[in-house]
Amino acid sequence: MKKQETNSLEKIVSFCKRRGFVYPSSEIYGGFGAIYDYGHYGILLKNNIRDAWWRAMVQLREDVVGLDSAIFMHPQTWVASGHVAGFNDPQVDCKECKNRFRADHLLEEFGLNLDKATLEEINKALDELRQDKKLKCPVCGSKNLTEAKVFSLMVKSNLGSPTDELSEKSVVYLRPETCGGIYLEYKNVLDTLHPKLPFGIAQVGKAFRNEIVARQFIFRTREFEQMEMQYFLKPEQMEEKYEKWKQLRWDWYLEYGIPKDKIHWYKHEKLAHYASQAYDIEFDFQALGGFKEVEGIHARGDWDLSQHAKSSGADLTYFDDETKERLLPHIMETSVGLNRLLLMFLDNAYTEEDVDPSSAEASEGRGEQRAVLKIDKRLAPVKIAIFPLLKNKPNLVAKAREIYLALRTKYFCEFDDNGNIGKRYRRQDEIGTPYCVTVDFETLEKDDSVTVRDRDSMKQERVPIKDLEQFFLEKFKS
């Protein structure tokens, strides 16, 4: 089977909407910039990715515990962490069309990578382009662009009584990263679960950033979900554990079907003042034209705990029973965007291909082309689809529904009797359903077995109904 042209962003966006994965938010009001909603298959896929991460990071580990902290935290949290003063992006405005751009993104168009540069460095690079008459608004072409200025990414809100509403006292921030809640609950975790160093705290949850230009679909949005794990350790353990976690995270991508040559490490040369090492896993997005960050692995030193200890007055040290030493643990983190991973898995799996002319489906006139989501079975939104061969034969329908009702207690299943079998296969292929079960006349009249068809090979086999449960147990074992 020949794979066809690469996936453009337009193709992925249109597929996501057409098949109920991702919808633009507030569409009936004309949309709402860089916010998206997840439809039926989207939420199923997102939950499966989240569960796969949780399984690797918490369930299969004895040194990591879970947490679900609140989105709102004491406002001082974000002062102590440095976010209120310093979580900014450089912004440029077009004076003609009033569009707003991230200065480092404008510079990217000229092959300049100033991702982590200072405002001065960015303005110097912009000035050089301006002098060469190369700097133009990407929307209207005007050369009337402002210089870059800082733009806070923090999303503000107000909590409290109405009289407080306009006072500074009631200002709260929607968390820009989930790890803030982990630092605040670290002491409670120590006091209640008594973990021994090194140990991790993991959580999945929403984060909010007032991205200047949130482009590229769900790659960069203003509301998104992060999956973060903060690993607390002694400073001398950092090097070994950092390498270990890098390897574990790399292997996770391979385990879930991402080819080795589609990911690589990006080493940050310019580090945040508290970081001693920072690497990103980047994925080669077909739809975004190249390698982009999906996950960051950062050695953060004792910055977070020392800042919060100083700011709150709480004692955040750890007492080592064995060495009788009291110390402030250092932290390394793994941090990944769930929505970004969803885009990565779709980009990697969405395939348009010619159906092998010698295959049963082609020879039965079931279409020469198909779109198929070749995604790991464990991540597939629907695991098994069950069909009666014909929808107007009550005996076939009754048997198919009986199988569906039994299987759905174990797997996410779909019953479908719409259109002919070929169309049903195509619908299930496109959303990545690994197996389709068809109840036909042989089932009722001959052998009490059904046809099971495999998404990738399109091969069919007869399986006795009584063996179906065991059959799928084998197929889905991980």
| Strand-pair category, 88-93 with 149-152 | antiparallel
**Using CB atoms within 10 A of its CB, is residue 290 exposed (0-12), middle (13-18) or buried (19+)?**
exposed
Q: Does 376 bind ligand GAP (CB under 6 A)?
A: no
Query: From the list 336, 384, 413, 465, which residue makes contact with ligand GAP (rule: CB under 6 A)?
Result: 336
Q: Does 337 bind ligand GAP (CB under 6 A)?
A: yes
Residue type, 58: V
Bridge partners of 386, per DSSP, are 415, 437
CB atoms within 10 A of CB 271: 14
Q: Does 224 bind ligand GAP (CB under 6 A)?
A: yes
Q: Which 3 state secondary structure label does DSSP give 436? A: strand
Segment 166-205, which members bind ligand GAP (CB under 6 A)? 177, 179
Nearest distance from C-beta of residue 193 to ligand GAP, angstroms: 22
Per DSSP, the chain holds a count of helices (H) and strands (E) of: 15, 23
Segment 420-439, which members bind ligand GAP (CB under 6 A)? none
> By rule CB under 6 A, what count of residues binds ligand GAP?
19
Query: From the list 96, 121, 293, 356, which residue makes contact with ligand GAP (rule: CB under 6 A)?
Result: 293
Evaluate whether 180 touches 78 at the Cβ level (below 8 Å): yes
User: CA nearest 384: which of 408, 360, 419?
Assistant: 408
Q: Does 7 bind ligand GAP (CB under 6 A)?
A: no
Nearest distance from C-beta of residue 338 to ligand GAP, angstroms: 8
Scanning 20-28, 186-194, 293-301, 453-461 for contacts with ligand GAP by CB under 6 A, the matching segment is 293-301
* Residue closest to ligand GAP, measured at CB: 337
Q: Does 339 bind ligand GAP (CB under 6 A)?
A: yes
**CA–centroid distance for 304 within its chain:** 25
Nearest distance from C-beta of residue 230 to ligand GAP, angstroms: 8
Q: Does 102 bind ligand GAP (CB under 6 A)?
A: no
* CA atoms of 232 and 219, how far apart (whole Å): 29
* CA atoms of 261 and 68, how far apart (whole Å): 35
Evaluate whether 141 touches 101 at the Cβ level (below 8 Å): no
Scanning 166-174, 223-231, 253-261, 382-390 for contacts with ligand GAP by CB under 6 A, the matching segment is 223-231
Which residues of the chain form contacts with ligand GAP (CB under 6 A)? 177, 179, 209, 211, 220-221, 224, 226, 228, 293-296, 333, 335-337, 339-340
